[in-house]
Amino acid sequence: MKVIHILTIAALLATPAIGQAADLLGIRAENRVQGGEYTAKTKGNNNTANAASINLTGSKAREVTNRVNATGTVSASAIGNSNTVNSGSVQMQNAEAAQVSNTVKVGSIGNTVRGNNNTSNIGSVQMVNARAGKVTSELTGEALTGAIDGNNNRLNIGSVAMNGAQRGDVTTKADLGNVSVSMTGNNASVAVDSVVAQ
Amino acid sequence: MLKKSVLATAIVLALSAGLAQADSGDSTLSGSFRHNKSKGGSIHHNTFASQPITNTNTNVVTVNTTATQTSSPTATATAPVTQTSTTNSTATAKAPATQTQTSAAVSSASTPTTAGADATTTDTTTATGSATETTAATDTTSADATATTQEQNTAQTGMQAEIRNEIKGAGNISSTITGGNNNLANAASISASGATQTADAVINRVNTTGNISSTIKGGNNNQANAASISMGGSMAVKGRVVNEVENTGNISSSVEGGNNNQANAGSIAIN
């Protein structure tokens, strides 16, 4: 009888461990950034510049958390074609995540892109052929600058942009001071403090 | 008696496994998607009126800071050191050196002109020989580096490894690569790739008042990481990927020219 009790207790004690191991499957990516200025720049083609951002391509994640609290400037720039430029953003391509959270508080933030087929995200969440259970995006800043010069360009500011994405609840919030956006070229698309689902 | 105990234990384990499976189904990725049923959910879109923030910002807003530029010369000073220690060009030069010596012996017997040419080649090989002697000190450091990576690999096969990079109270940190292809420049960063790589967690913590910069000048397939985590090649991580950057100066990452480039500053990139 004692043996039964011992084995029963052992089995019950082992149960949470088994459950937790299953719970750990999937990446939990946390990016916490404070202070200073953050700059990412590229020149050439097929470029990606990430400043205080999370970029997921072809990956599975359980939680994706990007928290930025920078007193200075967060900026990213690219010169060339087929560029992707992210500042204080989460970008997912062919990726999955149960939760996506992007909280950005900055003094100023801005992207500059010159070329064609460009995507520029500022304090935004962009999902392309991606799935997410819950998406939250919050952007607070004093000054914001977005400039794109070229064709087939897309600019997202304080927004959640989804293309061929499956998602659960989507929450966005933007509290910005001066916003300056300039775009030249054809087939331009701009989203400011918006939710765009295509 | 023993049969009863074994039977009871089997029943309890079966029930427990069922409960664990149910829990994991609710909390894991596939479970959450199952509940969402494609494009459901609500959209909460809060728009706030644009108004200036009263907090005065002490940091000067400049994109190309002088701090970043002044940090790059120290990087170029350190970059060649690491390149000479890691490249096997001096080591592989030993094999051609012995080959040219033997061929020189044969050719010098046949024609004196080629012997003269061979003499110059042997001179150059002796020059590279002296170069390898000077890099002998760096060879020992590279041996240490491989030793540490071997320790990591053995730990990773046991699924217990944690990749951790913690920097506190450092000055300026910079990494620069000039020219060439398939370049990777890391400063205060973690870069890992490969499907065989497995880690419990990947943690990069940077707490320094200095500037952090990573620069690649020219070339293709380049990546520059500053205070970032970069992972590729379907690397598996059981736990968290954490990039924590605090109290730093300027953080900059740039790729100047070339194709297929990526520059990360205070970021996580998982490809």
pTM higher than the cut 0.80: no
Sign of the alpha-carbon torsion through A129, A130, A136, A140: negative
Out of B20, B238, B260, closest to residue A18 by CB: B20
Q: Answer yes or no: do B63 and A169 touch at CB < 8 A.
A: no
Q: Answer yes or no: do A195 and B43 touch at CB < 8 A.
A: yes
- pLDDT category, B5, cuts 50, 70, 90? low
Q: How many residues does chain B have?
A: 271
The chain B residue lying nearest A89, using CA atoms, is B267
Out of A22, A43, A168, closest to residue B255 by CB: A43
Residue A185 distance to chain B (closest CA, Å):
23
Q: Answer yes or no: do B59 and A107 touch at CB < 8 A.
A: yes
Q: Answer yes or no: do A4 and B238 touch at CB < 8 A.
A: no
Q: How many residues does chain A have?
A: 198
| Chain A positions in Cβ-Cβ contact with residue B61 (cut-off 8 Å) | 72-73, 107-108, 143
Q: What is the mean pLDDT of residues A171-197?
A: 88
Q: Answer yes or no: do B252 and A39 touch at CB < 8 A.
A: yes
**Residue ranges of A 112-141 with Cβ closer than 8 A to chain B:** 131, 133-134, 140-141
ipTM over 0.85: no
- pLDDT category, B65, cuts 50, 70, 90? very low
pLDDT reading at B268 higher than 50: yes
Residue B88 distance to chain A (closest CA, Å):
29
Q: Answer yes or no: do A22 and B23 touch at CB < 8 A.
A: yes
| Chain A positions in Cβ-Cβ contact with residue B244 (cut-off 8 Å) | 30, 32-33
Residue B240 forms contact with A (CB below 8 Å):
yes
The chain A residue lying nearest B244, using CA atoms, is A32
- pLDDT category, A63, cuts 50, 70, 90? confident
Decide if B226 contacts B187 (C-beta within 8 A).
yes
Interface test with B, best of A43, A81, A139, A198 (most B CBs within 10 A): A43
Q: Where are the domains of chain A?
A: 27-197
Out of B21, B32, B61, closest to residue A107 by CB: B61
**Residue B245 Cα to chain centre, angstroms:** 17
Secondary structure of chain B as H, E, C letters: CHHHHHHHHHHHHHHHHHHHHHHHHHHCHHHHHHHHCCCCCCEEEEECCCCCCCCCCCCCCCCCCHHHHHHHHHHHHHHHHHHHHHCCHHHHCHHHHHHHHHHHHHHHHHCHHHHHHHHHHHHHHHHHHHHHHHCHHHHHHHHHHHHHHHHHHHHHHCCCCEEEEEEECCCCEEEEEECCCCCEEEECCEEEECCCCEECEEEEEEECCCCEEEEEECCCCCEEEECCEEEECCCEECCEEEEEEECCCEEEEEEECCECCEEEECCEEEC
- pLDDT category, A87, cuts 50, 70, 90? very high
Q: Which of A60-64, B40-44, B251-255 has the lowest mean pLDDT?
A: B40-44
Q: Answer yes or no: do B247 and A35 touch at CB < 8 A.
A: yes
Q: Answer yes or no: do A31 and B269 touch at CB < 8 A.
A: no
Decide if A48 contacts A100 (C-beta within 8 A).
no
Q: Answer yes or no: do A22 and B39 touch at CB < 8 A.
A: no
Give the E-state strand segments of A115-165 in sequence order. Answer: 119-122, 125-128, 131-149, 154-157, 160-163
- pLDDT category, A89, cuts 50, 70, 90? very high
Q: What is the dihedral of CA B28, B29, B32, B38, to 10 degrees?
A: -170
Residue A192 forms contact with B (CB below 8 Å):
no
Q: What is the predicted pLDDT for the residue at B27?
A: 34
**pLDDT tens for residues B179-234?**
788 888 898 899 888 766 677 788 898 887 888 889 988 888 888 999 899 988 77
